[in-house]
Structure 1
Amino acid sequence: MTLTATTSVQAPAEPPHSALGDREWLLDCHCAGPVVDLLRHQGWTVSSDPYANVHCSSPDQRVYVGFLPEAEEARRGELWHIHVKGTDGKVAWSQTFGSGVPAQAVAGFLAALIAFPNRCCACV
């Protein structure tokens, strides 16, 4: 199989040192706030249980996001749980993130998922 670029690609110019050198990378936020804020603004249902776990469901009920600090899975290193169901109602795929992953990074993952509502990639 041969892949051919359809547009020319140029390497970006070297960014000024201050663009990356002085940057504060995502390291600290381990609460549910950034994810909950994003999902609420997208019309998702957000609820919490008596154990401080947060559960979020997409408007079509096909995506579940759980922030589960008090669940058994968290003791194994799985703080965030994301499950995506197919049209048949079965989980098509899932992703977990550990407690070391900042909430902003999880929110970025979900923002990308929300931004591409089509089932298939253009390459298929």
Structure 2
Amino acid sequence: MTLTATAPSHVPAALRDSAPGDREWLLDCHCAGPVVDLLKGRGWDVIPDLAANVHCSSPDQRVYVGFLPETKEAERGELWHIQVKEADGRVAWSQTFGSSVPAQAVAGFLAALIAFPNRHCACV
């Protein structure tokens, strides 16, 4: 098997030149802000509810992102819910992130999802 890069990697100069012990890793930020800012900037619907949960839908309504701090799922450790649907409405896959995952990491996951709009991977 041969692995090839599908997109160029960009590493900021500040990170390239610093030793791993010199940086601070994402350890906090458990609000919805970084994700909501990313998705609003991409034209997604963002709807907060009265219980402080936030529901986001992609422009084509096939991807749902929920920040659900006030649900039974959050009590079990599932703060973020992401669900991707097939064109016919069936769930293709879903992912959850717990309350210990920083919102910037969830935003990074979603940015990667958004960056690859094609259904199929080039290596398949």
Aligned counterpart, 2:109: 109
- How far, CA to CA, are the matches of 1:106 and 1:83 in structure 2? 13
- How far, CA to CA, are the matches of 2:23 and 2:4 in structure 1? 34
Matches within 5 A, 1:1-124: 3-4=1-2, 16=17, 18-124=18-124
The percent identity for this pair of structures is: 80
TM-score, structure 1 as length reference: 0.87
Aligned counterpart, 1:11: none
Q: Between Structure 1 and Structure 2, whose CA radius of gyration is higher? A: 1
Deviation of 1:6 after TM superposition, in Å, equals: 6.9
TM-score, structure 2 as length reference: 0.87
Deviation of 1:4 after TM superposition, in Å, equals: 4.3
Deviations 1:45-94 (A, max 9, x none): 00110000000000000000000000110000000000000011111100
Deviation of 1:20 after TM superposition, in Å, equals: 2.0
Q: Which runs of structure 1 show a deviation greater than 6 angstroms over 4 or more consecutive aligned residues?
A: none
Number of equivalences:
114
What stretches of structure 2 of length at least 5 have no aligned partner? 6-15
Deviations 1:14-63 (A, max 9, x none): x65x3422111000100000000000000000011000000000000000
Aligned counterpart, 1:12: none
User: What letter matches 1:117 in structure 2?
Assistant: P
User: What letter matches 1:36 in structure 2?
Assistant: V
CA gap of 1:5–1:60, structure 2 versus 1, over 3 A, is closer
User: What letter matches 2:41 in structure 1?
Assistant: H
